[in-house]
Structure 1
Amino acid sequence: MTGDTVDPKGLIAEAYRIEGITPAECRSIFLDWALSVPTGVDARALVAVLLSRHGAPGHPMTTVLRDGLDEAGAPRRRGGRGGRRR
């Protein structure tokens, strides 16, 4: 633990230090980070902070963070009758 409230495990910061990291590895790291965001916390705001800190142009993690910022939406319910209808 790093004591950082935005990246408590230091996952994102470490991804930027790994030479030759692939986009797939960055997506996996981002997923691990996203799953650790506490319920009720605005993950999009945290991603924006991470981009401002680390957003190195051309780095695959920057691309993943931007995608996460663009694609993050409100969760939608998929269960029940409505989830079974096509």
Structure 2
Amino acid sequence: MDLSQFDPKGLIRESYQIDGIALPECRSIFLDWALSLPQDSDTQAAIDALLAHYGAEFPDHPMSEVLRDGQVQMTAPRRRGGWRSRPRD
């Protein structure tokens, strides 16, 4: 399976190859990965594909845990702040 469309920089792939990587590092890599995706990409589909590929082989890896959390907790980004959030006189 070609995962380059879901992991264009190879960040997730590389995280699975780092010996002794811990959950905080995986979260940081996941954030970098999510921010590097094109804005119109389907993040949920990417997470599902990556987890299907890597999660079966590495179910106890911290990145698999982060990806599973992303399946449940990932929502579309919302803009906060700006002029609408400021109190009116």
With the length of structure 1 as denominator, give the TM-score of the two structures.
0.84
CA contact (8 A) 1:23 1:60 kept: yes
Q: Any residues of structure 2 matched to 1:41-52 within 5 Å, and which?
A: 41-52=41-52
Aligned residues: 83
Question: Deviations along 1:12-59, whole A, 9 cap, x unmatched?
Answer: 111111111010110111111101110111111100000011012111
Q: Which runs of 5+ in 2 are unaligned?
A: none
Q: Distance in 1 between matches of 2:85 and 2:27?
A: 27
Q: Does 1:71 align with 2:73?
A: yes
* 1:19 alignment partner in structure 2: 19
> Displaced runs of 4+ in structure 1, greater than 6 A?
none
Residue identity over aligned pairs, in percent, reads: 55
Q: RMSD of the alignment, in Å?
A: 1.7
Structure of larger gyration radius: 2
Q: Distance in 2 between matches of 1:84 and 1:54?
A: 44
